[in-house]
Structure 1
Amino acid sequence: MTPETAMTEISRGLETALVLGAPPLLAVLVIGVVVGIAQAATQINEPTIAFVVKALTLVATLAVAGNFLLGRLTSFTVDLFHRIPQLIG
């Protein structure tokens, strides 16, 4: 395996990780900011409120986008396994 091939595979892996991690992280980030602003405006500083809302948002995001994310991960893995003979040889 040449260094260029290794860098290409690492790049594809990192890109896949970014695509898989972005939807849940962005959803939780947005909800966290909204809940933080709401808590600051109402002066309710209860950490469990933010945690529960973020947890529910994460579950909802994974329920909605989980099929896409799992398909993308499966596609990447199968493609990588099919390329193993080319990478080794």
Structure 2
Amino acid sequence: MTPELALTELRRGLEVALWVGGPLLLTVLVVGVVVGIVQAATQLNEPTIAFVAKAAALTTALFAGGSFLLAYLVDYTNALFQRIPHLIG
């Protein structure tokens, strides 16, 4: 395996990790900022409110887009397994 090929596979793996984890992390980030603004405005500084809101948003995002994310991950894994002979030889 050449260094260029190894870097290409590493880049593809990082892209898949970004596509799978990105929407979930972005959802939690947006909900965290909104809850933080609401808590600052109301002076309700209870950490469990933010945690429950983030957990609910993450669960909702997983239900909404989990099948797409899983399909993307499975497609990448199948393509990687099909490229193994090319990577070794």
Pairwise same-fold verdict (TM > 0.5) = yes
Specify the code of the residue in structure 2 equivalent to 1:67.
Answer: S
State the SS of the aligned residue for 2:66: helix
> 1:36 aligns to what?
36
Relative to the length of structure 2, the TM-score reads 0.99
> 1:76 aligns to what?
76
> 1:22 aligns to what?
22
Q: CA deviation at 1:6?
A: 0.3
C-alpha distance in 2, partners of 1:24/1:85? 33
Specify the code of the residue in structure 2 equivalent to 1:33.
Answer: V
Relative to the length of structure 1, the TM-score reads 0.99
Please, what is the CA RMSD of the aligned residues? 0.4
Identity %: 64
C-alpha distance in 2, partners of 1:21/1:76? 14
Deviant stretches of 4+, over 3 Å: none
> 1:13 aligns to what?
13
